[in-house]
Structure 1
Amino acid sequence: MGIFPGFSSWINQNIQQPLKASAKRSEKGKSSSASEEDRYLQGPWYWNPDLSPKEKAESMELDHVKSMPMFASDPKYYDLDELVRQVRLWMSENKKHPWHDEPAKVKVKTKKGICHLNIDFTMGWPPQAVYEMFTDPRNIGYFHSMGKYKKNWRTRLDTIATKVLKKDGPRQVTEVEKVLRWKILGYNGTFPIHLIIDENHQKVTATYKKVKVKHMKVFEGSWKMEPLYVDQERLCKSRSRISAEEYKKCSGGKGRIGSKVTMEHIFQPSSLLNVPPASWFIRGIAIKFTKVLLQDLREYVIMMKNSIVISPGS
């Protein structure tokens, strides 16, 4: 059995959502329409490298890309076996040795009308898995308010379309169209976001800048994930800085690796809106929704760790 089945139980069996009737497929597995709702199905995707030709052919018969054994980041540039092993460790060890992530720390600085958000947080989940959550455009439901959209399964942040502009080894430049759903004081609507994202699948880093973002003159930023050896003090009896290889050796392979996430988000409202009190309102809303989306990710990971235990042989 390949390495994907255990990982697919994390991705496929527990985060699939009801599909809308309009997402119909032809017999060849291609989209039967070119509606905005379906354009994101074009990619970018990377097949699980352990799939046999038969398994790949069977996967092509599935009715939706969210059900296929694919990744948003290229598995050539990281150890997929180790990622699956770490996911299993987090799920099996969570009750015995719980790890509590604090809410994100957001520092705000405004200078000459430009707002800088510097964000730091930790997550009890492997860096590559967190990175996959940040980059995966399949609308799997990471940014989902538990209960708020329960009846119609609508997420706060959806991807409408993606297009790979450049692929150079682990580097991938992608054009992405997203929509952010908002609700304020009883009013709700959508906020379109059109970005160019420059990813490095090996370094688990990315930068982004706007193509077009409604009401924004500047909209750009970056993120990176670094390993956090959460069991080092307990299993290795050491607080000094060590490498991944040393950590695996001194912990007997039982040490979980979490993520230290560092983000920077820079934005500036368009000229007509970049004056008080409108600028204050827009900055306040942007900061609020940034925190809400990060909290969605945090709650999602907590839910995953508490809902399933994957045995080593699964």
Structure 2
Amino acid sequence: MGGFTGFGGLINQNIQQPRKAAAKSKIHENVKSGSVSEKDTNIQEPWYWDPDVDPKLKAEYKKNHSHVNRQARLWSGPNNKHPWYDAPATVKVKTKKGLCNLNIEFTLGWPPQLVSEMLTNPRNINFFRLFDRDFRQRLDNKSTKVLKKDGPRQITRVKKTLRYKLLGRSIAIPIHLIIDENHKNLTAKYKKEKMMYMKVFEGRWKVEPLYADQERLCKSRSRINEEEYKKCSDGKGRIGSKVTMEQIFQPCSLLNVPPISWFIREITIKTIKNLLEDLRQFVIDMHKNSDPE
């Protein structure tokens, strides 16, 4: 329930206007300077709060968030009456000249817009497994700072903390990334700004709609778009997500020699798989939850 409450708050925040004129003025000034805030934070205003954004575009995206909210309800609790199974992520690994390349594919029975939000997690919702008795999750988002935004495109600096255990000891690794994402196309690319043990750490992802009830409600397997799906399913069809990712990493020079490099690659790949499995389990739990209000 807590996860959906977080998403509900996320959606509500995204469709509300700022309540104070002073807040609007401050946001306007910061957008002009290319930064939302001089202070790092885990809560970022939606890009369409910018007073310069076309009012018609604002209205379109508010309507879209209402649609996302309805979709989340279709996937949750008693509304989710038809079985759906998301297999663990498929991860293909290639290593060449010290660079390790992961090609990843997986599906999630959850709306694409919310899956995209899960991958960046600017509000630090508990998507990942709790790591210790202090209720810290395996991957924490410590702060998010918008560096630049242009309509649906947004470039942010994020600071995360990754936790794992090695030989019985808890280890926390700070990760600083620059993420360039498009909220309309649900695509993103990222690269490290600062990260221990890594010379290269970068990647990209894309989230595409998956029409989960097309065959059952539309009696068709032909390729269709979202509007056609809404029409043939009478608005009752669930929309899930297909995610494709590419992750490239290379240990720093001193560590990029066997057998140390083998050990680091093994830990990194295992950690990425564990994080993806956490997201899958989170969505499975959401399917079991009662319909939220």
Equivalent residue letter for 1:133: M
SS of the residue 2:285 aligns to:
helix
Shift of 1:182: 0.8
8 A Cα contact 1:74 1:201, kept in partner: no
Aligned pairs, how many?
Answer: 263
Equivalent residue letter for 2:111: P
With over 3 angstroms needed to count, the CA separation of the structure-2 counterparts of 1:239 and 1:283, relative to structure 1, is same
The answer to whether structure 1 residue 233 and structure 2 residue 215 are counterparts is yes
CA distance in 2, matches of 1:110, 1:165: 33
CA distance in 2, matches of 1:274, 1:126: 39
1:68-102 deviation digits (Å, cap 9, x = unpaired): 8x776769474111101101111156652021100
8 A Cα contact 2:77 2:289, kept in partner: no
8 A Cα contact 2:178 2:193, kept in partner: yes
Match of 2:15 among 49, 52, 55: 49
CA distance in 2, matches of 1:239, 1:14: 32
Shift of 1:14: 9.1
Equivalent residue letter for 1:12: G
Match of 1:202 among 184, 187, 190: 184
8 A Cα contact 1:269 1:279, kept in partner: yes
Q: Which residue of 2 aligns with 1:81?
A: 66
Shift of 1:162: 2.2
Match of 2:101 among 116, 127, 130: 116
The answer to whether structure 1 residue 297 and structure 2 residue 279 are counterparts is yes
CA distance in 1, matches of 2:3, 2:170: 34
Match of 1:269 among 229, 251, 255: 251
Q: Which residue of 2 aligns with 1:32?
A: none
CA distance in 2, matches of 1:279, 1:107: 18
- 5+ residue gaps, structure 1, are 1-6, 17-44, 58-64
Shift of 1:134: 1.4
Equivalent residue letter for 1:98: P
TM-score normalized by the length of structure 1: 0.76
Equivalent residue letter for 2:102: L
8 A Cα contact 2:211 2:229, kept in partner: yes
Equivalent residue letter for 1:142: F
Equivalent residue letter for 1:48: N
Q: Which residue of 1 aligns with 2:34?
A: none
CA distance in 1, matches of 2:262, 2:176: 23
Match of 1:187 among 156, 169, 180: 169
8 A Cα contact 1:196 1:208, kept in partner: yes
Identity rate of aligned residues, in percent?
Answer: 59
SS of the residue 1:48 aligns to:
helix
- 5+ residue gaps, structure 2, are 24-40, 50-57
With over 3 angstroms needed to count, the CA separation of the structure-2 counterparts of 1:47 and 1:14, relative to structure 1, is closer
With over 3 angstroms needed to count, the CA separation of the structure-2 counterparts of 1:177 and 1:72, relative to structure 1, is farther
Q: Which residue of 1 aligns with 2:53?
A: none
The answer to whether structure 1 residue 165 and structure 2 residue 132 are counterparts is no
8 A Cα contact 2:153 2:180, kept in partner: yes
TM-score normalized by the length of structure 2: 0.81
1:163-207 deviation digits (Å, cap 9, x = unpaired): 211111111111111110111231211111111100111111110
Shift of 1:51: 5.5
Q: Which residue of 2 aligns with 1:10?
A: 4
CA distance in 1, matches of 2:47, 2:77: 25
SS of the residue 2:222 aligns to:
coil
Equivalent residue letter for 1:184: L
Q: Which residue of 2 aligns with 1:130?
A: 115
Equivalent residue letter for 2:14: N
CA distance in 2, matches of 1:134, 1:251: 29
CA distance in 2, matches of 1:308, 1:299: 16
